[in-house]
Structure 1
Amino acid sequence: MTILDTKLHVPHVRNKLLVERPLLIQSLNEGLNTKLTVLTAPAGYGKTTALGEWLQHCSCPAVWVSLDRHDNDLVQFWRYVLAAVEREYPDLGGGINSHYDNLISGVFEPFLAELQNGFACISGELVLIFDDFHLIELASIHASLGYLLEHLPSNIHLYIASRSELPFPVARMRAKGELHKIVIQDLRFQLDEGGRYLHGSMELSLSDEEVLQLVTCTEGWISGLHLAALSLKSSEDPSRFIIEFGGQHRDISNYLLEELFQQQSEEIQNFLLSTSVLVRMNRSLCEAVTGLGNCQERLDKMDRLHLFVIPLDEQREWYRYHQLFAEFLQQQLRHKYPDKWAEAHGNAARWLENHGLIEEAIEHLLTGGHYAAAASLIELHLLDLQLKKTLLHRWVNMLPDAYMEMNPGIQCFLIKTMAGAGEVALAEAKLQVIQDKLSDPMWQPWVNSILLMASEIAMYRKDIKRASEYLEVFERHAPEGSHLQMMTGNVFRDTDYETLLAFINDLHEGAGYFLKWIKVWERKENYPFVGYFYRAYSEVLYEWNRLEEAEMYVERVLQQKQMEPYGRILVQASITAARISRAKGNPGRAFELLEQVKPRINSPDKQVFMRMLDSEKASLSLLEGYADEAGAWLHSCGLKSTDNIQMNQISMYIHLTKALAASGQASEALRLLDRLYRIVEGDRPHDKIRVLILQSVLLYQKGDAPAALMKLEAALHLAEPQGYLRSFIDEGPVLVKLLSEYLYMRQHSFIRSSSEVSLIYIKRLVQMMSIHADGTMQLVPLLTKQEKRILEMIEQGWLNKQMAQQLKVKPETIKSHMKNIYKKLDVNSRLQALQRAKELRVL
């Protein structure tokens, strides 16, 4: 995403036009004692000018974000905020950037937690200003800003300028004295300020009565006074103008703007109207829109005339109109000259597209009614725009149905989005409508895409047979494949599943499906789509404990050059390969695989994929007993059990449950597992089994054996028909003990199973897990080095006082460490702690 630097500049304040307003400056200063200061008033009351002037007096560092309607996207909004802060603190964004994947998925807490940590590290105070916040209408941005304010460090002061009241609750902040409000009464000119402005800034010779008349009629509205002053400057009879102005015109703004506009030459009027469609403008863009030359001279002239033109940079290359003036001009252009309205937007779009500003170009095409061109441009850039779902859906909703039907690519995008969002039935219905049109020549180039989409929707339906049938037709139409197969091979989308096993209810059927298409596609010289199937088939073989075969297939992904451009496939394959290496007794190689792939990732979403790898590495660290490494990940990952969890984040949050449990937060881990279970229980048997197993282990560790056995039996019931093995083996000694207990109780009829889990299957698992137990660790509590040292000293018979002297700490510190050890090991005495530590191989 291109960051427009002009949006981060403090708008230029003309010192000549400024009126000293000590009371307003004092009120703005009071905001430095609160978290949030809100300036709320209609257009033209000088909110932006007041903040700009105040910053000239303010000693605190300040950053500025000028918002517009294009910023109604959660990722874009926070990218601009972070870019603004990084102008003042360049090193602050390092760790924060890794959390953009959560924003893409609509989850803002991890990103904002890192941002708050960054703010807390700033020495001194920082002022953060959001201008024109009323243009932000997206509920997720409102919610995220409310969350930020709730946890904002005391050294950060947020100032928001808006035409409307804030759309998120601030009553609690007001009650706590954390909110400062500046309203119309504070912003409007008082009589003396209006007089100084008219006499000094605008250089008008007016009597006290005339000043009173103007200030009273405008009610101190600053833009109204400015408009009146501009009109007076060119009026042949100023006194008559003031009398008529005061007595006849109720709609002061339209009257004054009309008066000001009519006073300009026809050339300037045409220039103003044509360029009013622009959010920001420079010489080149103005020339493209108007077809005129020497536009820099026109901009400079309007700047000198104070025609509501605001410079956006010190070089005076970029400008914008005051919103009040822009809205007036746009209304004039749209209603009086609709053809010129459409032409201006079309010209602007062409310039913006040629300069790589695609999103702004699309906005102009849609606003100007150039629907065919807008649809074509959206379709052309679908790959780059696909992550901006909110923006894309708004654009698509602006397109009339007739233009939708003329653009197959957009329709395909919508269907894929619906299917990925769980609206499979609706996607299927729309797909059927499209399939009926395939004889139309316009749709012929999209036949392959539609076949692929039909296969994908069949997979969402868990209908593997039908999915394969569609692929067979696709293979006949496009034996060389399609670029659309790899459209998301190097990016992260929140609608993507993290594994093809998510589509599979029957591992045996899935294995046959994967192997069938591997045999078809691996013979082709360049067919990277086979990489997804290599990895999926490897996962099935791994689950069946056929490790050599599993390794062979996943290594094909990592070794074949055709996979190199696709970060998503490389990361997924590396995770599977690491699990296989550990299962084969080589954990060192597993860690290497997770690190070696990182330099190979060349993706715009690299940070997302890095987080996936780091979460897998943390899980591996737990299994190998590297408590400190896993603990470091737990504290830095930004994930919380209350996050909004997407379908493609299940593994990451399963790893989080393990880390929480190992850090002594078993209850929190169980609550998270309950949430995960509700997410996957409907149609995700693979993940459902994993969650049930973890629930059984944690419940057993907490001493709730009956509940643990119930969860275990539910997992066994799902797993046996599919031949699941590794999901159990990988959880280690505690699960061996629980399974053994379950087997004993079943053999001696202490419990009656209604699930028909066979004793043969349970015995096989116990036998295999006993063999692997020496190389497998359960969820090892995260004991610090100091806590481990204290346990060792307890084993050697040291007393608290002796340990305190040896470790050079107070006896109270030793007691505090002991409480932490008891909590993490879930014990109540020294003897129990030693026994538990030995069971877990902490000692």
Structure 2
Amino acid sequence: MPHKNAESVLPEPVGASIKVCSPRWIEGHPCACGGVGAPKVVSNQARTGCKKAARPIVGMGHSPFVLEVVCILEREKAPAGAGRPRAPSARRNIELQQTFLNPSICRFCRGAILAAQGFIGGLPQMCPDVTIKEVVSHESTPKTMTIEILTTKLYIPRPRPELVPRPRLLSLLEAGIHRKLTLVAAPAGFGKTTLVSAWATAGTRPFAWLSLDVPDNDPARFWSYLVAALNTLPTLPQPFTSPDSELDMAPLSPARLTELLNQLATLPAPCVLVLDDFHLIHDDTIHEAIAFLLDHLPPTLHLVIATRADPPLPIARLRARGEVTELRAGELRFTHAEAAAFLYTVTGIAFTEEHIAVLAKRTEGWAAGLQMAALALQGTNQPGTTPDVTQFIHAFAGSNRFVLDYFIEEVLESQPATIQDFLLRTSVLTRLNGALCDAVLSDEAGTKPRASAEILKALDAANLFLVPLDDHREWYRYHQLFADLLQNRLAQTAPQLAPKLHQRASLWYEAHAQYSEAIAHALQGTDFERAAALIERTVEAVLMRSEVRTFLAWLEQLPESTILHHPTLCLYQTWIMLMAGNPWTLIESRLETAIHAAESFPSQTTASVPAKAAPLLSFIALYRGEVEEAAVLSERALAEIPPEDTFLRSLAAWSLGISQLATGHTADGKALLEEVTRASRQAGNILVAALVLCHQAEMAWREGKLHRAQQLYKQALDLATDADGQRLPIAGNALMGLGEIYREWNTLDVAEDAFKEGIALTERWSEVSALDGYIGLTQLHYERGDTESAEASLRRAETIAEHFDTTDIDDLLVALLRARINVHRAAAGDLASAAAVAQWLEERQLDATGLPREDHSYTVQHLQKYELLVLARWLHIQGQHDTALNVLQTVLPRFVARDRPGMILEVLALQAVILSALGREPEALDTLKQALNNAAPEGYLRTFLDEGPPLRRLLEQVISASEKRHTYAVTLLAAFEAESPPATPRPSPLFIPAPAALLSEREREVLKLLPSGLSITDIASRLYISSNTARSHLKNIYSKLEAHSRYEAVARAQELGLL
């Protein structure tokens, strides 16, 4: 039977008088383990020769080795040489150690041995300090890409021996194993982790476990730990790795998760994945990824989520399908019988039914509350007395806050002073091991105690809210609720102590190269100068991994004055503001602040701030289309930034390469970008290397080299991926580029995945970088006929462009896309779209001549060719085919460079359609053949498919007129035949006069009255206008509808859906 005062076995400092392990103490305290190998009658004198312990202890069932220890402890009270027992032999030491390590031995016996180790000469140390770094570093990854995995987060918490069986809950868990999800959701302290871990260790099926923390609320980090947890499955055929597929995706993307699901489907037997403390996850991307997993989970994997709050997952849908088992607070509350069993197991006291009912009601079946109540009740017990349970339970009342305060006072204060001090001081740590605790507990002189490992193991044995994190019981954490209470207590009793403790923890983590933890403790300890220095040391590595949110979170906790003392941090903050699309006024202000701070606080590190700002200024110039200024600034940066600062020099060289390309120095620009890629890779600068590869891929795409562009984008993806398959946020640029290529190849499903995941990835660090993805999605949805989704994507793009005011290029691009879509809608009779096109043409100063504007800026010249192409389409649907053809054949070629074959293909396709509309079929067919010959090697499809039925008819003529089989024409025709019909039929522009879309509001009012048979005079009277005005409106209606009578006008209006 367990002892009623278990906590008293905790060892006091070596050299203190030990009373709790005396023979008299042992005699009155029965054993929980039944005595491992113990006889029923033991003579202490026979075992040890100690006359002071000559009385036999009958029937207690303790291990004889423990009794030996007890008598050795008694010698401390004896005078020197007076009946002292002899030192145990080496063999006896080994046997004693084996007894200590025996899992069947109770905590009281183990506590006695633990207490004795400081007194027994030659006894091997049972609990050495933990110095092993529980971090796995993937050495195959570049230094800046090292992903640290705390393996203790992957261990299944081991159930305690005092665990009360709860078969009703285990049966519920087992019954739901064939469903997709088990959701264990309840407030803190309801035993969620304990229950699931008991199920995991009791069953025969394999379990993978992931204990989540606040830092895991990052998609990239979450992905790393998810894969690491799954790799612990013993039945895994081979470790999960980054698959070399047609399109590798970002972390948590549907395509990336699909690869993972496919690997999970190969598991030879059903397994279970547990995500514990899921309430700490708030990131939408992670929630969406888990929802995707649940939608497609193979039968080989069952997911368990333990959380304090319902996650934003499609629980209702899963519930309707019978695919989720839910265990909530109602199920987890201890029943009357379970509470009785638990209290008896922990305290050894037989509570009355009334006592149990009152205590269960007070705690509402809350497991943590019952446990703290039991510990508090133990603290009221004095040796040789029986606690007044009735008085205790009746005193156990009040509000929840009062009850928690009572627990702290009773549970915490019942511990020895040394243990109280240990608990309070180490409560600032999220994870504990002996070495770390020793460092935190060191005194002002730096002297470190060497007993933390032993205390941790004793606390573990005493069940004092300490959770082991590994099988070796070297790393621990406090129960979260207990940690919160300890931290509150520390803040109340010694508020000045916490900063010092955090500082010591920071120093320890820094010494072990765990800089994120070192920075976190420095910030929590308000040692802002130290935190800033650590951030400054690691900022480039953090940015190279695209961990922008981490960097910003650190800066948000630093006072402005501290940041100003570190102008380099201020400068990098400005970089991020630019990438994130902040308003220009804020960017400019922050940049000026950084430069001014460098002047105000001169030092060796701040002297180069103006030079370091030059690459940033050069990119700002590029955003504004000022390419010559960008080149000057880039060259200045390369001249002034020292060679060892490879990160900023690579940014400057990249900017210079872009400037050279924009100013026509194509060969020089390409060569420089190649060199930047090579040097960045060599230096481990993943961020710049991946971005430059994406830029090179974009150039290849513009040159019509789609396969080469695909190859470069994939190189960027591989580069932005570590050994575990984790994607950096910068990989989103490559994904969106691939989406555009796959859209052109008409593999729309793959393209949509690429766009969406590229957007999700880039929006986590730069909203404006996602603009290209939304533009691509808009085109894709429109091509599918999904006008609602297309409009939603386009509006999102417009919002991003509006917010990012550093450049006008994004606004012009989005307006250009809106104009092109409005042209199509106007052709189908949408009056609002037609009016919008007319307004856009006026704003952009585009008329039927197609002549260029006087503005010769890079931005205008770069975009004008696209605007002229939209103008040609507008003229075409208006029936002004000759003028449209003139724009395509005369004006536009002056703006289409030779390295834009993709755009030339679009020009040729539209030109063929317009020639056909003019009745010039032979020229139309020749033009189309030229386009087909140019498109075949790279597989262009969407450029032709978007022209619709008119081009398909021409394509059929090409095939029928060709003496030899035109293979690519046949391929393209098959793509036309496979096209899904749009959601709303789109009439051909050749048969719908666009001027019909330009009816004025008054003309539409007149048109609505025509079917009524009213005379012109009556119509004028109804509309309160003169007869002459009514006749004028009717004449305009005839002209725009190409009608010659009222009957024809009505019939035409009905055909077009205007009536």
TM-score, normalised with respect to structure 1? 0.71
In the alignment, structure 1 residue 279 sits paired with structure 2 residue 459: no
2:880 is equivalent to residue 745 of structure 1: yes
Q: 1:187 aligned to 2:346?
A: no
Which of 614-623 and 385-394 deviates more? 614-623
Aligned to 1:510: none
Deviation by residue 1:217-243 (Cα, 9 ceiling, x = unmatched): 544433343334445556216544423
2:671 is aligned to: 555
Q: Deviation per CA, 1:735-771, whole angstroms, max 9, x where unpaired?
A: 99959958993755999xxxxx899523646998469
Aligned to 1:144: 288
Deviates more, 1:23-32 or 1:452-461: 452-461
Instruction: Confirm or deny: 8 A CA contact 1:204 1:229 kept in the other structure.
Output: no
> In structure 2, what is the equivalent of residue 398 of structure 1?
557
Q: Which residue of 1 aligns with 2:173?
A: 28
One-letter identity of the residue aligned with 2:411: L
Say which SS state the counterpart of residue 880 (structure 2) adopts: helix
CA distance in 2 between counterparts of 1:767 and 1:649 reads: 27
What aligned pairs does 1:376-391 form with structure 2 within 5 A after superposition?
Answer: 376-386=533-543, 387-391=546-550
- Are residues 7 and 480 of structure 1, via their aligned partners in 2, closer, same or farther at CA, if it must alter by over 3 Å? same
Do the aligned residues in 2 keep the contact of 1:743 with 1:763 (CA within 8 Å)? no
1:558 maps to amino acid: E
CA distance in 2, matches of 1:597, 1:45: 47
| Cα separation, partners in 2 of 1:555 and 1:736, compared to 1, 3 Å | farther
Q: Which residue of 2 aligns with 1:419?
A: 578
Distance 2:874 2:406 in 1: 84
How many Å apart are 1:730 and its aligned residue? 11
Per-residue CA distance 1:813-838 (angstroms, 9 max, x = gap): xxx999736759x999xxxxxxxxxx
The answer to whether the 8 Å contact 1:63/1:127 transfers is yes
Q: Deviations over 1:12-71 (max 9, x none)?
A: 111x21212122223334544655544344433322111111223455543322222333
Aligned counterparts, 1:655-804, within 5 A: 672=793, 676=797, 679-680=800-801, 704=827, 717=846, 741=876, 745=880, 760-762=890-892, 764=894, 769=904, 773=931, 774-776=933-935, 777=940, 779=942
For residues 27 and 446 of structure 1, the distance between their equivalents in structure 2, rounded to whole angstroms, comes to: 63
Residue range with higher mean Cα deviation, 275-284 or 774-783:
774-783
Distance 1:36 1:398, change over 3 A: same
1:481 counterpart = 2:604: no
Q: 2:395 aligns with which of 237, 242, 248?
A: 248
Gaps of 5+ in 2: 1-146, 442-447, 899-903, 909-926, 947-951, 961-973, 987-1059
In the other structure, the counterpart of 2:609 is 449
Q: Tell me, yes or no, if the aligned pair for 1:36 and 1:159 is still in contact at 8 Å.
A: yes
| Map of 1:637 onto structure 2 | 754
1:346 matched to 2:492? The reply is no
The gaps in structure 1 that reach 5 residues or longer are 490-525, 542-548, 752-756, 797-815, 829-843
Distance 1:219 1:170 in 2: 26
In the other structure, the counterpart of 2:158 is: 12
Cα deviations across residues 61-106 of structure 1 (Å, max 9, x unaligned)? 4332222233333432343334323433565552599999866xxx
> 2:873–2:884: 8 Å Cα contact kept in structure 1?
no
> SS in structure 1 opposite 2:606?
helix
Amino acid at match of 1:550: T
Query: Alpha-carbon deviations, 1:552-574, whole Å to 9, x = none?
Result: 43033325764553555555555
Cα distance in 2 between the residues matched to 1:767 and 1:366: 55
* Alignment RMSD (CA, Å): 5.4
Could you tell me how far 1:193 is from its partner in structure 2?
2.0
Query: Which letter maps to 2:657?
Result: Y
Q: Deviations over 1:660-686 (max 9, x none)?
A: 788887996687566546644786665
Of 361, 365, 378 in structure 1, the residue corresponding to residue 522 of structure 2 is 365
Q: Is the 8 A contact 1:288 1:348 kept in 2?
A: yes
Tell me the residue number matched to 1:407. 566
Aligned CA distance change for structure 1 residues 205 and 688 (closer, same or farther; 3 Å): closer
Residue correspondences, number = 746
Match of 2:1005 in 1: none
Instruction: Give the structure 2 partner of residue 502 of structure 1.
Output: none
**In the TM superposition, what is the alpha-carbon distance from 1:431 to its structure 2 partner?**
3.5
Point out the structure with the larger helix share: 1
CA gap of 1:652–1:171, structure 2 versus 1, over 3 A, is closer
Contact 2:509/2:515, CA 8 A, preserved across alignment:
yes
**Within 1, Cα distance between the matches of 2:691 and 2:517?**
35
**Aligned residue in 2 for 1:546:** none
Deviations 1:780-828 (A, max 9, x none): 6799xxxx9xx99x989xxxxxxxxxxxxxxxxxxx999736759x999
User: 2:368 matched to which residue of 1?
Assistant: 223
Other structure's SS at 2:599 match: coil
The TM-score normalised by the length of structure 2 is 0.58
Q: Distance in 1 between matches of 2:864 and 2:475?
A: 63
Looking at structure 2, the residues matched to 268 and 206 of structure 1 have their Cα atoms a distance apart, in angstroms, of: 29
User: How far off is 1:466 after superposition?
Assistant: 9.3
Select 1:304's aligned residue among 461, 464, 468.
461
Cα offset, 1:292, TM superposition: 1.0
* Shift in CA distance, 120/467, structure 1 to aligned 2, threshold 3 Å: same
Moved more, 318-327 or 122-131: 122-131
Other structure's SS at 1:479 match: helix
1:440 pairs with 589, 593, 600, which one? 600
Deviates more, 1:155-164 or 1:373-382: 155-164
Deviation digits for residues 674-707 of structure 1, max 9, x if unmatched?
Answer: 6546644786665667667777888889994898
Give how far 1:657 is off.
6.4
Q: Hey, what does 1:69 align to over in structure 2?
A: 214
When residues 380 and 238 of structure 1 are mapped into structure 2, their CA distance, relative to the original with a 3 A threshold, is farther
Which one is further off, 553-562 or 613-622?
613-622
Question: Shift of the alpha carbon at 1:381?
Answer: 1.6
Are the counterparts in 2 of residues 101 and 608 from structure 1 also a CA contact under 8 Å? no
Alpha-carbon contact 1:660-1:666 (below 8 Å) kept: yes
Helix, strand or coil for the counterpart of 1:320? strand
Q: Distance in 2 between matches of 1:641 and 1:578?
A: 15
Q: Distance in 1 between matches of 2:247 and 2:506?
A: 33
Distance 1:98 1:315 in 2: 43
2:35 maps to what in 1? none
Read off the aligned partner of 2:150 and give its amino acid letter: L
Secondary structure class of the residue paired with 2:756: coil
Q: Please state whether the residue corresponding to 1:87 is helix, strand or coil.
A: coil
Q: Is the 8 A contact 1:37 1:180 kept in 2?
A: yes
Q: CA deviation at 1:11?
A: 0.9
* Structure-1 separation of matches of 2:247 and 2:790: 22
Amino acid at match of 2:211: S
Cα distance in 2 between the residues matched to 1:692 and 1:129: 48
